[in-house]
Structure 1
Amino acid sequence: MATAYQNLSSYDPATVPDASNMRVAIVCAEWNANITEKLLEGACNTLEKHGVKSDNIFVGRVPGTFELTFGAQRMASFYHPDAVIVLGCVVQGDTPHFDYVCQGVTSGITHLNEVLDIPVIFGVLTTGNMQQAIDRSGGKYGNKGDEAAITAIKMHAFACRLK
């Protein structure tokens, strides 16, 4: 659903499972750090709000959004978390680079969800301009990091029900 109709930070807390025993790895792209650091802050705050201990949140940084797939795979292998969240921001430019990066990271994260036994959450902003990214990283449309954290908690609970 378009964020014009749904704030990324809005959710019903009553629908969020207990996350006090969760371990979560977060991979954050350094590119567009003015945006990605706000996404990271939102994700960490939301995870802690729902019981994840700060000692059980493992943060790694990679240079750009394209590298998130490798970072997520390595973090999953090293930390053995219950979920991995990837955070990045790609802003449309004048070349097709935007399309290649977006397609690559989308395919990569989809593949990780197929081969790993834990959810890998796509918290990547793909925007037409920097203002749209600002609006979705704590601005008027909320914070994609909050949404990614809630999705990680819910997907972990979903996976646990099917063991």
Structure 2
Amino acid sequence: MGAVYLGTYEPPKWRVLIVASRFNELVVDPLVEGAKRCLVRHGMDEANIDLAYAPGAAELPLLAKVGAKSGRYGAIICLGAVIRGATSHYDVVVSSMASGILNASLESEVPVIMGVLTTDSIEQALERAGTKAGNKGFDAAMAALEMRSVMDQIQS
């Protein structure tokens, strides 16, 4: 077997952009704090963490793509919460948002991490924003660290 590449989680030497939805801020704010806590815990200077707010989850992909294509960031972390309601709006937003985030990553070749909660209730969302189910913002930041580390290893 040849090389094996694993994320090292060493202190990042690059900047990160967190793109967060203003909608559902009760859930999103703890996700943002969790992501920042993870990055700082792993040695990133807080001055290297930028934060951009989108009106809602549907707008996250465009800001992520602009950030990724700027050349300023080693990774982009998208955070938000889409909570199912009584209409089909949920399905439309989730599908287009997920596709847009994936496309931003593939087109830019920068890790664009989807840390957007898609839940059936506000209770489920709150559980994933730092109570029973951990903090998915923290988890998204870990994924960003791992992806950038592995990509750097492959490219060097």
Instruction: Give the TM-score taking structure 2 as reference length.
Output: 0.92
Alignment partner, residue 63 of structure 2: 71
Distance in 2 between residues matched to 1:151 and 1:110, nearest whole Å: 14
Alignment partner, residue 43 of structure 1: 35
Alignment partner, residue 73 of structure 2: 81
Alignment partner, residue 115 of structure 1: 107
Of the candidates 44, 52, 56, which is equivalent to residue 60 of structure 1? 52
Give ranges in structure 2 of 5+ residues lacking alignment.
1-6
Question: 1:19 Cα deviation (Å)?
Answer: 2.6
Alignment partner, residue 3 of structure 2: none
Aligned residue identity for 1:39:
L
Alignment partner, residue 22 of structure 1: 14
| SS of residue paired to 1:88 | strand
Distance in 2 between residues matched to 1:79 and 1:117, nearest whole Å: 10
Question: 1:22 Cα deviation (Å)?
Answer: 2.6
Aligned residue identity for 1:154:
E
Question: 1:20 Cα deviation (Å)?
Answer: 3.4
Aligned residue identity for 1:76:
A
**CA 1:37/1:79 → structure 2, altered by over 3 Å: closer, same or farther?**
farther
Output the aligned Cα RMSD: 1.2
| SS of residue paired to 1:142 | coil
Question: 1:75 Cα deviation (Å)?
Answer: 2.0
Instruction: Give the TM-score taking structure 1 as reference length.
Output: 0.88
Runs of 4+ residues over 3 Å off in structure 1: none
Give ranges in structure 1 of 5+ residues lacking alignment.
1-14
Question: 1:79 Cα deviation (Å)?
Answer: 5.9
**CA 1:134/1:16 → structure 2, altered by over 3 Å: closer, same or farther?**
farther
